[in-house]
């Protein structure tokens, strides 16, 4: 990750529409795209989050969240203005925390429900693992270990919200622009909240459906509709996230060109690797270590 230097000392001014460097330009119009140059407005961040002390934290947070989710063009234009890296990190970790709380609570609750039968199973030893499940066994042990599932979920959310930033380091782009783009990419992490909401919704509905085995008519349709929405929401938001990143990337590497195709392919792969590493790999390794320790006592 690239470190940021304070941007106050840098006199660079970029056109928010085309990214052209306006330093030393006397004209009132951008020579590249013809946009009227408003030096005061171009130099000040338009991100609601950077004005949170004035407009209030909650309002600033919600407006910035909406901007990252719905108005990626406006967000991408911020590349032309100073972007505070610390502000962006703060926004990212607040979002991760809000997404994490319900998921962690569900994981803790789920563990409490599954623990008594699982402990019986564990006492019977390795001989009772069904055929073909031996490979999954460390993962199951890890997932049932106190605190591991909430930890894995936290890692998953942190990785997911940060992985795109690794794509904003093309050498041809000025370091200042790279740093801004990395910070801006953190403002797009709203899909994590929708993912969290969808998981909670899906599990709540499946729980309700289990409590009423004789669901029929309208109730059944509502359950199915909720399931479809819960599945569609993350897909739509991840697609939106992906498009936002591409737009941001294109705007940042405007001068150098290219690179977007690589991002388009590698970003979904990176997300899958993040999910697999946090939710499968880490849990599996912890379970494996625990099984080794258990075999000695």
**Site residues, Zn ion (CB under 5 A):** 15, 17-18, 20, 30, 32-33, 35
Q: Which is nearer to Zn ion, 15 or 233 (CB)?
A: 15
Residue 79 CB, shortest distance to Zn ion, in Å, is 12
Nearest to Zn ion of 34, 147 (CB atom): 34
CB of 18 to Zn ion, least distance (A): 3
Angle at 193 between CA 191 and CA 197, to 5 degrees: 115
In this complex, which beta carbon is closest to Zn ion, that of residue 13 or of residue 263?
13
Least separation in angstroms between residue 2's CB and Zn ion is 25
Task: Let me know: does 43 contact 82? Beta carbons within 8 Å.
Answer: yes
C-alpha 110/C-alpha 42 separation (Å) is 50
Residues with Cβ within 8 Å of 142's Cβ and at least 6 positions away in sequence, in order, are: 148, 282, 283, 284, 285, 286, 287, 288, 290
Closer residue to Zn ion (CB): 77 or 184 = 77
Q: Which residues neighbour 55 within 8 Å (Cβ) at sequence distance 6 or greater?
A: 48, 63
For helices 175-186 and 217-252, give the axis angle rounded to 10 degrees: 170
**Closest Cα partner for 288 from 120, 107, 140, 124?**
140
* Sign of CA pseudo-dihedral 238, 242, 247, 252: positive
Which CB atom, from 18 or from 273, has the smaller least distance to Zn ion?
Answer: 18
Q: Taking Cα atoms as reference points, which of 227, 220, 166 lies closest to residue 202?
A: 227
Q: Please, what is the minimum distance in Å from the beta carbon of residue 163 to Zn ion?
A: 30
CB of 44 to Zn ion, least distance (A): 18
Of the pair 29, 126, the CB lying nearest Zn ion is at: 29
Nearest to 287 by CA among 106, 172, 151, 191: 151
Q: How far is the CB of 46 from Zn ion (least distance, A)?
A: 16
Cβ neighbours of residue 61 closer than 8 Å, sequence gap 6 or more: 49, 52, 91, 94
Least distance from Zn ion to the Cβ atom of residue 274, Å = 35
Query: Which two three-digit tokens encode residue 249?
Result: 């990337």
**Shortest Å, Cβ 251 to Zn ion:** 11
Tokens encoding 130: 């069904």
Q: 33 or 134, CB closer to Zn ion?
A: 33
Nearer to Zn ion, 24 or 218 (CB): 24
């Amino acid at each position: 990750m690239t470190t940021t230097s304070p941007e106050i000392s840098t006199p660079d001014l970029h056109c928010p529409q085309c990214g052209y460097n306006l330093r030393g330009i006397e004209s009132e119009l951008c020579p590249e795209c013809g946009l009227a140059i408003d030096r005061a407005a171009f130099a000040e961040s338009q991100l609601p989050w950077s004005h949170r002390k004035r407009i209030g934290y909650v309002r600033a947070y919600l407006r910035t969240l909406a901007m990252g989710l719905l108005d990626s063009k406006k967000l991408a234009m911020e590349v032309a203005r100073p972007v505070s890296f610390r502000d962006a990190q703060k926004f990212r970790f607040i979002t991760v925390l809000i997404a994490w709380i319900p998921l962690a609570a569900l994981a803790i609750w789920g563990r409490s429900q599954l623990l008594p039968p699982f402990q019986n199973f564990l006492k019977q030893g390795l001989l009772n693992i069904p055929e073909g499940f031996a490979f999954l066994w460390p993962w199951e042990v890890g997932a049932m270990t106190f605190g591991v599932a909430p930890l894995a979920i936290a890692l998953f959310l942190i990785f997911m919200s940060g992985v795109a930033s690794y794509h904003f380091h093309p050498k041809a782009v000025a370091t200042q622009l790279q740093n801004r783009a990395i910070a801006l990419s953190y403002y797009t992490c709203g899909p994590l909240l929708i993912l969290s909401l969808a998981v909670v919704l899906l599990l709540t509905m499946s729980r309700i459906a289990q409590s009423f085995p004789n669901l029929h008519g309208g109730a059944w349709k509502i359950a199915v509709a909720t399931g479809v929405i819960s599945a569609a929401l993350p897909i739509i938001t991840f697609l939106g996230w992906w498009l936002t990143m591409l737009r941001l990337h294109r705007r940042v590497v405007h001068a150098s060109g290219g690179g977007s195709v690589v991002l388009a392919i590698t970003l979904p792969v990176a997300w899958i690797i993040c999910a697999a590493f946090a939710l499968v790999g880490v849990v599996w390794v912890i379970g494996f270590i625990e099984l080794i320790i258990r075999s000695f006592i």
